[in-house]
Structure 1
């Protein structure tokens, strides 16, 4: 992120506007999976189709997260932040008024762009409105708000479904976003980065979306189309061509979306893949459990009960994460990441043996293992990403890791939904009961998540030794926020010292 002199904004107002908005965005994002069965029943759209409400959000977020920050630097951070809030309000109203699944998905796609813009520009506004210790304190509070929102979202969604219907979440979020717009208008001064070139990599943004969309479409529809069908192979071909075009464009534009030179950094690449895997598996898990827990054939939980049931995975992750920086400082970042992914793998393997007669208590141990494992791996992986580069490249490294979270969430959720739905369909065709078919689907998807988590263990081996964060309070907050965003730590820019 580019630094400029602190603006004349009233710092308290900037802090309130940005922290409230990031809390709402992250709570909204994590709540949606819990709402899917209710939305499906209301709109008559299958939950398989509605997975695009999750993957579409993440797909657009991946394309926009870096570009929106650049737009703020060039055209004004307050202006672009306000635009993000306006888009968020529009998307919430569109979803709340939706009478079809397609309208819900369209609203969530818009919301993906809005959420990424709010996070990117909000953090920039907060940084330029403060300096030194005040900046560290403000960014830490922003990170805490992000972590709390992500953890509380599923429970909040469950509560609101029972009280207001699933639409209530979006009406409330729209109202809060309007409040943030007013607060921003009154208290936040405009700021730009006058030293940044005015060139924006719009082509890179489009090509990111063009790479991911056909890939996810092919994965999602492969059970109906067939893996070797012309449609599936055509989608893969388009994805590969768009990916190649993205690389060509990034080599030629003045200010690329992704500095390809960063990909020569082994620590950054390994930690980014670890971040992608962590974000992907937690999102895939939440999607699967929200459906499985609420299905009448299995546990038949209400949305509120399902929200409560996922607390060990969401709150547990956020509670464990702040304790991790000191462990990483003592034992090493890559060792902590490796142990974390081992625990996550074990948790998914246990769920891989699920039977149709399992009660909720049988899920508690693996959920705790997954939460602790992800708490151990998320923070050190994010810290490694920004510690592996000089201070001048910390913003670029943060952008890469933040983009990776969205990519991981989109791809892994699509894979999990495809495996889950395909196995259920195959087992049902073979004459299995609904509960048995659902359990087999969850088991198969969990084995896939276990394989992905084990790849995280291998990434820990790839990551070279690097400086770990010291374990301060700010490092603890950055570790807790790592489930949603990469924040600076006391190790950020450490590579400069080795040159």
Structure 2
């Protein structure tokens, strides 16, 4: 008699968590498309508005692991609902904003909410299902994350053209309220009774204090002067906070980051590879969103710009499910290396951009970048959880998820700084606006190419490692790999034959 209600409840959990991850990832990927429209409405320059992107990722990096820990201790449903409530509040705050500062503040709050929704939503889904049903549910969650990330720019473009940039946040708020209602009626509360109630709040604060001054220095360094007191002071604060983070992590009962994991060469290489992949895709989306919409370059509408990014966003998701089988045949590190090489070539091609380029000239480089990222993301994400013992999989997944946020925050700030400073220098030197924009995009693309090329070294650092077999579950995990680390069929260390 209890089977039907249990099945209904599991379906409700699946609906609430998949819908929430779809809306969070769509929101995250859509915001770059909105920046020119927000800039026009609020009068704040797009270079400053990059904090709406980097601030979100910065806070997400600090909160993603802590929110999961809070769910284990205080109740996963309770913290998930809290995340949804804060997400709704942040959407309303942003939609009602009359200044760029309010938009940035709302996005910073939204970063905490989004990370909480993802961390606790996946936990709720895992405890609500067992065996093959759990694998199916997690795979669907991963597919929803991938679809949301791919559709975000297009959805953002449609809404800007039809409702104004505020429309995205009103829609997101409504969907999040629906998720809250579903969660209230279908999700049972759960905790981890075996987990210590100690939560590393100090580590969370120090992650933010490490990243915020670093990003501020990258954003303002060219204006302040790289040798100025303000710039050097930011770097010093970042270094000191990073050092204190390491000290604290070695002393707290349940650390945000288990420092012992850093002795694992495969995990370190995979984590840096994930950081590079997440950073470069976010940097690319920021650059293209601005360049495609600027009247002095292509002059696209937000909708046209959203459509124009599809070769990068949808292409990445489309190629990723095919990668696990390829990796199982030729080796994970070979696929990762090939992916970063192809990505670097794609960015280098964009580095040759000229002001007279039309959109057709961007298509092949964007496809190369998308395919390259698809090749590198999946195997790196799979390796990060397969290279540790089974009881460390959760911690390793937390490290890689934090790395995504760190990469997105730092690389976007770096891309924005290079793009803006080169444009300013070229304009001051008398260059035409179109030529200055092309020079800015070129310079930033070459830096992204160099960062992608550094990913080749990570394939060497990782060496040989276990790869996924290429199941349907692996395909979903690979598709979601640029947004979240999911378990795969790659054999954990403890399960391998000795």
CA distance in 2: counterparts of 1:496 and 1:230, whole angstroms: 53
CA RMSD of superposed structures (Å): 0.9
Give per-residue Cα distances to partners, 1:382-434, cap 9 Å, x unaligned: 00101100111000110000000000000000000000000000000110000
Provide the TM-score with structure 1 as the length reference.
0.98
Equivalent residue number for residue 422 of structure 1: 421
8 Å Cα contact 1:226/1:232 also seen in 2: yes
Equivalent residue number for residue 3 of structure 1: none
- The question of 1:67 aligning with 2:97 is answered no
In the TM superposition, what are the counterparts of 1:198-237 in structure 2 within 5 Å? 198-237=197-236
Equivalent residue number for residue 104 of structure 2: 105
- The question of 1:188 aligning with 2:187 is answered yes
CA distance in 2: counterparts of 1:377 and 1:103, whole angstroms: 37
1:224 counterpart SS class: helix
1:494 CA displacement: 3.4
Equivalent residue number for residue 14 of structure 1: 13
8 Å Cα contact 1:391/1:492 also seen in 2: no
8 Å Cα contact 1:155/1:307 also seen in 2: yes
In the TM superposition, what are the counterparts of 1:135-154 in structure 2 within 5 Å? 135-154=134-153
In the TM superposition, what are the counterparts of 1:75-114 in structure 2 within 5 Å? 75-114=74-113
CA distance in 1: counterparts of 2:437 and 2:463, whole angstroms: 41
CA distance in 2: counterparts of 1:412 and 1:311, whole angstroms: 21
- The question of 1:239 aligning with 2:238 is answered yes
CA distance in 2: counterparts of 1:119 and 1:147, whole angstroms: 13
1:495 CA displacement: 4.9
Give per-residue Cα distances to partners, 1:237-266, cap 9 Å, x unaligned: 000000000000000000000000000000
Equivalent residue number for residue 129 of structure 1: 128
8 Å Cα contact 1:345/1:453 also seen in 2: yes
8 Å Cα contact 1:387/1:495 also seen in 2: no
2:256 counterpart SS class: coil
1:497 CA displacement: 2.0
1:8 CA displacement: 9.3
Provide the TM-score with structure 2 as the length reference.
0.98
8 Å Cα contact 1:389/1:496 also seen in 2: no
Equivalent residue number for residue 3 of structure 2: none
The ranges of structure 1 where at least 4 consecutive aligned residues each deviate by more than 4 angstroms after the TM superposition are none
1:269 CA displacement: 0.2
Give per-residue Cα distances to partners, 1:371-391, cap 9 Å, x unaligned: 000000000000010110011
1:493 CA displacement: 1.8
1:212–1:498 CA distance, 2 compared to 1 (3 A):
farther
CA distance in 2: counterparts of 1:289 and 1:421, whole angstroms: 13
1:461 CA displacement: 1.1
- Structure 1, 310-319 or 454-463: larger mean CA deviation: 454-463
CA distance in 2: counterparts of 1:492 and 1:394, whole angstroms: 11
1:252 counterpart SS class: coil
For these two proteins, the number of residue pairs brought into alignment is 493
- The question of 1:54 aligning with 2:53 is answered yes
CA distance in 1: counterparts of 2:149 and 2:484, whole angstroms: 11
1:93–1:492 CA distance, 2 compared to 1 (3 A):
farther
Give per-residue Cα distances to partners, 1:5-24, cap 9 Å, x unaligned: xx998100000000000000
Equivalent residue number for residue 371 of structure 1: 370
Equivalent residue number for residue 261 of structure 1: 260
CA distance in 2: counterparts of 1:495 and 1:424, whole angstroms: 53
1:10 counterpart SS class: helix
- The question of 1:446 aligning with 2:445 is answered yes
In the TM superposition, what are the counterparts of 1:36-51 in structure 2 within 5 Å? 36-51=35-50
Give per-residue Cα distances to partners, 1:347-372, cap 9 Å, x unaligned: 00000000000000000010000000
CA distance in 2: counterparts of 1:8 and 1:243, whole angstroms: 46
1:464 CA displacement: 1.7
Equivalent residue number for residue 164 of structure 1: 163
8 Å Cα contact 1:337/1:380 also seen in 2: yes
Equivalent residue number for residue 470 of structure 2: 471
1:458 CA displacement: 1.0
Equivalent residue number for residue 387 of structure 1: 386
- The question of 1:362 aligning with 2:366 is answered no
1:211 counterpart SS class: helix
Give 5+ residue unaligned stretches, structure 1: 1-6
Equivalent residue number for residue 26 of structure 1: 25
Equivalent residue number for residue 403 of structure 2: 404
1:496 CA displacement: 4.3
Equivalent residue number for residue 322 of structure 1: 321
Give 5+ residue unaligned stretches, structure 2: 1-5
1:178 counterpart SS class: helix
